A and B are shown apart, each in its own frame.
Chain A
Amino acid sequence: MDRYPGSEEGERQVSKVSLIVNGKEITADVEDRTLLVHFLRDVADLTATNVGCETTSCGACTVLLDGESVKSCTVLAAQADGREVTTLEGLASESGEMSAVQKAFHEQHGLQCGFCTPGFVMAITSLLAENPNPTEAEVRAGLEGNICRCTGYHNIVKAALAAASANTAEAAK
């Protein structure tokens, strides 16, 4: 893990940042320029969230910030101070049962190398929260900010639609 030595360098402005990550409060002194994704990976030691581009283009770093999807490579950790962050590691239930989106990715072969997967799972989780019954066209448009190089998106789109159906069926119970 990279060390963030903080104030002893005396050159970079360092601030205390406190986030609730997957329900757990994590507080650290970090350089002001620390990106949320690096806070999650290097300070919170949650490595599912990946950096794919650094330009908000690929979505591999997508997490939920107060329930809404953001690309954590272009959010400062300080901007998330006092807020709730959910990463892939926080989606399964306490008993370890995968969320509907995670299950659908497994059943529909929605992942291959897995690197973009955490970002897609988080983006779709957010998309379905906003629009519980999207059409295929709405799913495709909603995923424009996430890049996958393995799956051709075919099974990711299927997984999103399957998760929507599963959520609807669950809600009808």
Chain B
Amino acid sequence: MSILGTRVIRTEDPRLLTAGGVYVDDLREPELDGAARVTFVRSTIAHARITGIDKTEALAQPGVIAVLTVADMTDFPPPPPAEPIDPDAPPTEGPMPLGGPWSEPLLAVDKVRFVGEPVAIVLTDTRYQGEDAAELVSVDYEPLPAVVTFDDALAGETLLFDGTGSNVSLKRDGAFEEAVFDGCDVIVEGDIVNQRVACLPMEGRAVAASWKDGKLTVWASTQNAQLSRLILTALGLPPDAIRVVAPDVGGGFGAKIGVDREGILVAWAAKHTGRAVRWVESRSENLTAMTQGRGQRHHIKIGGTSDGHIKAYRLDIVQDSGAYARMSGFLPSLTVLMAPGVYDIPNVQAGYKVVMTTSTPIAAYRGAGRPEAAATIERAVDWFAAAAGVDSAVVRKLNFIQKEQFPFVTKMGAPYDTGDYEGALDKVLAAAGYEELRAEQKRRRAAGDVRQLGIGLASYVEITAGDAGAGETAKVEVHDDGTATVYTGSSPHGQGHHTAFAMLVQAELGIPMDKVEVIHGDTDLIPDGVGTYASRSLQLGGSAVHKAAIEVKEEGAKKAASLFEAAEADVVLDAGTGLWHIAGDPDKSLTWAQVAGAAEGGLIVANVRFTADRPTFPFGSQLSLVEVDTETGKVTLLRHVTADDAGPILNPILFEGQRHGGIAQGAAQALVEEILYDADGNPLTSSLADYGAITAAELPSFELLTSETATDVNPLGVKGIGEAGTIGATPAVHNAVIDAVSHLGVRHIDMPTTPERVWTAIQEAKKASAK
């Protein structure tokens, strides 16, 4: 029996559980012996001109090695010249990040645009000295008005970037036509805010660097060492003069794709001063200067017939970019692509504007544009169902793209590979006892219970490995001692690649997992690789390992045939034992050690770059059950039931773990989490004492159901699972909260559905009904 599909516990764990991981701050590499601590001096004002920086007092502090500002960056290659743009015709598509007049500096040049923007760098012997000295770098600011809200940004009274004429950095024309709503007897329209949240990996950003003999070595907490190396060529070094190592990485969630400007600066500081350096950000830095997620305001219109059929859907997006456009042009394009979700809607229109605000830049966060699409279409369907007077599960089933319609290209051009949307919803409804829950809800409503029940549904589809064409690399080696080594361009930060990829090798070659070493995240060993994001690792990185193992097996067959003095077609590998035989003669056998020993250098090796011609589109349904205390507004999440389909399951333990984490982050956005600013652009959630990260006490155990629909896009038949939980859970929990109080006249509550917001919505609904 193949090891694939079995519950293999992780090979990564014993080390992490007994000695702890080796994250950047734990590295004891000789090159980092005596490394200076890097402390950033960051803007304390949301929007201001810098009129002077005085570092005298800081330089006089004990242990201070250097205080560096933009004036010291003379050994940097000049940035490309700004291209003039026509303010009346903003580009509809642009590079990522945006250049030209929207360019982001490394250290602030003459202006700061968000609280937390790096202004200067302090190098000290120890970490406490760094905090002391950074306090004493005196920066003179001439404050400018902050641009905090979507409306402030759109109004454009204060511009973030000179010469742009607008705070709108990108837009896509939605081609909105009213005629598509002709013939709709049920039309609902409204605004939905998908609030800004923190990515919040438990390890914040961290980078160490050393410069020696013309070679720069950078250790970074990153989701991809190879992309980081490419970014670091901005220092004016060729790629082969840079080595990037990703040691253990304490979570990423999209915010550690490549390295940020701070990472480039830390590497530069090592090169500039010749001293090894290390930067490990504090949680306050993390909550103000690591990129954040979501930050979209949607205006929607949905229309159809009173029997529950949806005929037209419009989504008009404003994306808050924060102060700089890193990925913010990309995020709403994914939201547009996935706008209609799982529904076969004859008319879909979607467009966006990306606006600059004096706040932390927004980029990818678990789902990156897709959760926003799912959250809004799933709210819209509930609005429509309520207006039509049809049960929301029934409306979903009436409008699903049907199983026999796949492959299906949506109105927005997304090529959905597979789907059984109704099957997934039926599983969830049955397991949750939907009818019984509705009956209990009805009973509590009739009785006027203080604690009301809410049942939330979400059916979702998402796109994974959107950049399937970039593919992923793998090298598999079998050595003459019978062991194997996998080099992958994929880059785990908790997902369990080492276990998963070793399982793939054992399944194909019969070499037991404990003899398979998996190596990732070192550009000297793996110069070519793409990394881990967009739920791409198993389908691209895993497929690459799988194909490389097959190539190794083919090469092994040649060697075995020669050793057996038999025809290649007559030798077989028993993947259960890892022994080679002549077909029909199990008594004579060769081990991998013998077969590899017959190869040149005692090594059989295969290099593969696997690319897919299309992304995959995992799907599922989730049901959330909440109880709302109508006197206090407090929401309790009682149950969460999901069927998430990402194709054949390689290792149920890892698969479930990804779903658990995703569900928690989705529920967190629906219930508690939000990054807030005051009217002057000061962050109000810059520590974990203020930011309401969800805990075990606010969550139940989750009920997971199995659904496996294989794709034909890759040889493993697999789709991504990293983000599915989040994409489904946010609307399921959100819909449940509103469902609990909908009979009181509440139509919508924006996320997070805090007690204050829920209570206020109930009071307003009561007032409205009393009129």
Residues on A facing B (Cβ under 8 Å): 1-5, 9, 11, 31, 33-34, 38, 41, 45, 47-58, 60, 88-89, 91-92, 96, 98, 102, 105-107, 109, 111-118, 121, 136, 139-141, 143-158
0/1 interface trace, chain B 296-337, chain A, CB 8 Å (1 if under): 000000000000000000000000000000000000000000
Contact present for A102 and B17 (CB under 8 Å) = yes
Which of B16, B248, B689 has the most CB atoms of chain A within a 10 A radius of its CB? B16
Contact present for B702 and A147 (CB under 8 Å) = no
Contact present for B283 and A54 (CB under 8 Å) = yes
Contact present for A111 and B282 (CB under 8 Å) = no
Contact present for A2 and B661 (CB under 8 Å) = no
Please tell me which one of the listed residues A1, A92, A147 contacts residue B18 in the complex, with CB atoms under 8 A apart.
Answer: A92
A117 and B284 alpha carbons, distance in the complex (Å): 21
Contact present for B251 and A149 (CB under 8 Å) = yes
Q: Which residues of A contact B663 (CB under 8 A)?
A: 152
A sample of 21 inter-chain contacts (CB < 8 A) reads A2-B37, A11-B62, A47-B25, A50-B202, A50-B250, A52-B283, A57-B687, A58-B283, A88-B20, A98-B14, A107-B9, A111-B13, A111-B16, A112-B657, A114-B12, A115-B250, A117-B20, A143-B696, A151-B657, A154-B656, A156-B696
Decide: A109 near B654, CB < 8 A? Known: A55-B688, A117-B17.
yes
B203 on the A face (CB < 8 A): yes
Contact present for B702 and A58 (CB under 8 Å) = no
Q: Which residues of A contact B17 (CB under 8 A)?
A: 88, 98, 102, 105-106, 111, 117, 121
Residues on B facing A (Cβ under 8 Å): 9-10, 12-14, 16-23, 25-26, 28, 33-34, 37, 62-63, 125-128, 200-203, 248-251, 253, 282-284, 493-496, 653-654, 656-657, 660-665, 687-689, 693, 695-697, 699, 701-702, 725
Q: Smallest distance from the beta carbon of B248 to chain A beta carbons, Å?
A: 7
Contact present for A113 and B283 (CB under 8 Å) = no
Q: Which residues of B contact A144 (CB under 8 A)?
A: 695-697
Contact present for B696 and A140 (CB under 8 Å) = yes
Q: Which residues of A contact B26 (CB under 8 A)?
A: 41, 47
Count CB-based A-B contacts (< 8 Å): 197
Q: Smallest distance from the beta carbon of B320 to chain A beta carbons, Å?
A: 22
Q: Which residues of B contact A1 (CB under 8 A)?
A: 28, 33
Which of A106, A121, A139 has the most CB atoms of chain B within a 10 A radius of its CB? A106
Q: Which residues of A contact B662 (CB under 8 A)?
A: 152
Please tell me which one of the listed residues A5, A41, A47, A58 contacts residue B688 in the complex, with CB atoms under 8 A apart.
Answer: A58
Q: Smallest distance from the beta carbon of B400 to chain A beta carbons, Å?
A: 27
Decide: A152 near B126, CB < 8 A? Known: A105-B13, A115-B202, A144-B695.
no
Q: Which of chain A's residues has its CB closest to B12's CB?
A: A114
Q: Which residues of A contact B33 (CB under 8 A)?
A: 1
Q: Which of chain A's residues has its CB closest to B287's CB?
A: A53
Q: Which of chain B's residues has its CB closest to A113's CB?
A: B494
Contact present for B202 and A47 (CB under 8 Å) = no
Q: Smallest distance from the beta carbon of B130 to chain A beta carbons, Å?
A: 10
Contact present for A33 and B128 (CB under 8 Å) = yes
Contact present for B493 and A54 (CB under 8 Å) = no
Contact present for A2 and B127 (CB under 8 Å) = yes
A102 and B125 alpha carbons, distance in the complex (Å): 36
Contact present for B203 and A115 (CB under 8 Å) = yes
Contact present for A150 and B251 (CB under 8 Å) = yes
Q: Which residues of B contact A145 (CB under 8 A)?
A: 695
Decide: A153 near B127, CB < 8 A? Known: A52-B202, A57-B688, A112-B494.
no
Decide: A106 near B9, CB < 8 A? Known: A57-B688, A113-B249.
yes
Q: Which residues of A contact B14 (CB under 8 A)?
A: 98, 106
Q: Which residues of B contact A33 (CB under 8 A)?
A: 128
Q: Which residues of A contact B125 (CB under 8 A)?
A: 2-3, 5
Decide: A141 near B688, CB < 8 A? Known: A3-B126, A117-B17.
no
Q: Which residues of A contact B22 (CB under 8 A)?
A: 47
A51 and B17 alpha carbons, distance in the complex (Å): 17
Contact present for B20 and A149 (CB under 8 Å) = no
Q: Which residues of A contact B13 (CB under 8 A)?
A: 105-106, 111
Please tell me which one of the listed residues B253, B665, B701 contacts residue A136 in the complex, with CB atoms under 8 A apart.
Answer: B701
Q: Which of chain B's residues has its CB closest to A9's CB?
A: B62
Q: Which of chain A's residues has its CB closest to B704's CB?
A: A154
Contact present for A31 and B128 (CB under 8 Å) = yes
Contact present for B19 and A113 (CB under 8 Å) = no
Which of A38, A117, A146, A150 has the most CB atoms of chain B within a 10 A radius of its CB? A150
Q: Which of chain A's residues has its CB closest to B664's CB?
A: A152
Q: Smallest distance from the beta carbon of B153 to chain A beta carbons, Å?
A: 29
Q: Which of chain B's residues has its CB closest to A101's CB?
A: B17
Known: A55-B689, A112-B494. 16 other contacts (CB 8 A): A41-B26, A48-B20, A50-B250, A54-B283, A58-B693, A88-B20, A109-B9, A109-B654, A113-B21, A113-B493, A114-B16, A115-B21, A146-B696, A150-B494, A151-B660, A151-B661
